[in-house]
Structure 1
């Protein structure tokens, strides 16, 4: 699927006992980009005359009502299960079947907050790694022993299945999907539309265990690093700015971000490269210098390792100008 050329259909599954906020978030975020068409699917319209057009999206969100019958959900390109109350109760078979059929038809399946339990109940998380709101992580482990549960992580993507924590993590999840479909520039544009920060890294912890002073110091260091990606950045430099020993910095850094310092720097640099490939016609040499990779060879090697394609291939897929692709041989 090429989202630039075709509408991506996003289905939001209106589960029983659902949390209204978890419905509002995907409708609002995906609704801010013309590449997406959103529908709220559930039992509410199946017996109603007029069916699919009997409620607008605005009406659906205001009263958490459906805009489309449950059967339409199997045709979604992205099917989202919002959080719902009492996740220990069995999921109705019609919803489990809908999830399985949608997955078999190659949809990407997303569980937000306790919506993850519905994915597990449908068998879609068996043998996979998943996350959920920290409050429910241990319960998910107890109920589904064949799932590797990562408790304190913002979101986890395992194949075509994505699971996330609740509330604001739902926004990050939607932006993550937009970035995967359309690139970082498009995701940043939607973030501005909904007045939020760009998507946080998937590995980020749901909550911090650091003391307030330490947390603020780390945030200041992260902000400095993000603004100086083209500078030489080492663990020693970050530790000095944070006024910590290198060992203490690494320990707090992993707790706060979910990854070691230099891994975080590399991923931030990759995001910066992607943005520049999408919105500028800069040469690979200039991009490498601006983002701290130094040489074009180093940039190409790391970019391919992290993104799966060469910079030139990425520019052909996402950039506004493919004319410079020849500068980057495969």
Structure 2
């Protein structure tokens, strides 16, 4: 039974992610039937201000010595560094139940808690997390990972999802829904981080004219032979050069660009999914839905509901 939550804060703590943990676990909602948790904010030196990542400070009431008595240690995001307070890492290494938000996962890794475990973090930090802790099984595509006694979340708002999931798991769906209603958020979101990632543009200088030509004709079918002719190469040379400069095949590259085009149209227009499928070269709405879900992690209508600018 979850009765107490301790939140360690160190220099560079992110105020939003800290606030998410406070909002879910630290507010008295007993009048609505939500159990009151013993909520402890802890610092290396209790009573001394701790600088946040935005220049403001907060003052923890407790020291790290209370961490061992908490049912849950919830670690907010903070600036990634080479070393963390030893007393905090020792407490994390002994904890029975851990939750991290965004870059808070780096503290769990430094405490040795991610070795051999599934985990996640903000997609911008996923490669670094995997590099620092090679024994960790980092999944960059999900909003959060529940690996039993360790729950890790992706960036910022995904921390809300992870916290509410833990509440649902430990205290029940009714409590989680009540908290979500007060926060005016969905009790449970679908999809993963892929829907928020903006892919970088591939720099393929020798193929740029052909890539631009393909982008101008997304609604046209392209064979490797046609593309090789445009690039004035043999089909074999073109395929080899394309893979070397883009890291993928012409078909996969074109499919991804069509999905990105569809994503923009879903955000900025009220065109039907069928019309968007035609404009982007998928032909049918069914084919668009298949590829869109594979790349973005959401159905087109769900993506539009969350991200439409209109």
The normalised TM-score by structure 1 is 0.59
Mapped contact 2:195–2:297 kept (Cα < 8 A)? no
- Change beyond 3 A, Cα 1:9–1:212: same
Question: Could you say which residue in structure 2 is the equivalent of 1:160?
Answer: 149
In structure 1, the partner of 2:106 is 117
Unaligned runs of 5+ in 1: 49-53, 56-61, 222-238, 265-330
Match of 2:292 in 1: 252
1:40 corresponds to 2:41: yes
- TM-aligned CA distance change 1:16 to 1:208, over 3 Å: closer
Report if the CA contact (8 A) 1:15-1:81 is conserved.
no
Distance 2:284 2:61 in 1: 54
- Residues 101 and 121 in structure 2, CA contact (< 8 A), matched pair in contact too: yes
- CA shift, 1:249, in A, is 1.1
Q: Does 1:97 align with 2:137?
A: no
Relative distance call for 1:112 and 1:202 in structure 2 (3 A) is farther
For the residues of structure 1 that align with 2:285 and 2:184, how far apart are their CA atoms? Answer: 36
State the Cα distance separating 1:90 from its structure 2 match: 1.1
Q: Which residue of 1 aligns with 2:265?
A: 213
Aligned: 1:11 with 2:6: yes
Q: Deviations over 1:242-268 (max 9, x none)?
A: x9443431221233337x99xx9xxxx
Q: Quickly say closer, same or farther: Cα 1:92–1:208, change in 2 above 3 A.
A: closer
**Structure 2: which 5+ residue stretches go unaligned?**
50-55, 199-259, 278-282, 303-310
Following superposition, the deviation at residue 186 of structure 1 comes to 1.9
1:76 maps to what in 2?
A: 70
CA RMSD between the two structures: 3.3
SS in 2 for 1:134: coil
8 Å CA contact retained: 2:143, 2:153: yes
Q: Answer yes or no: is the 8 Å Cα contact 1:20–1:64 preserved in 2.
A: no
- SS of residue matched to 1:40: strand
8 Å CA contact 1:155, 1:202 repeated in 2: no
Are residue 192 (structure 1) and residue 181 (structure 2) matched?
A: yes
Q: Is the 8 A contact 2:7 2:40 kept in 1?
A: yes
Q: Does the CA-based 8 Å contact 2:41-2:61 persist in structure 1?
A: yes
Task: Please give the secondary structure, in 2, of the residue aligned with 1:135.
Answer: coil
* Number of residue pairs matched by the alignment: 220
d(CA) in 2 for partners of 1:244 and 1:16?
52
- How far is 1:64 from its partner? 2.1
Matching residue of 1:273: none
2:158 to 169, 172, 179: 169
Q: Distance in 1 between matches of 2:66 and 2:78?
A: 21
Instruction: Give secondary structure in 1 for the equivalent of 2:13.
Output: coil
Could you tell me whether the CA contact under 8 Å between 2:140 and 2:193 is conserved in 1? no
Q: State the secondary structure of the residue aligned to 1:153.
A: coil
- 1-side partners of 2:195 and 2:84: how far apart? 26
CA distance in 1, matches of 2:195, 2:291: 17
**Structure 1 residues 17 and 175, CA gap change in structure 2 (3 angstroms):** same
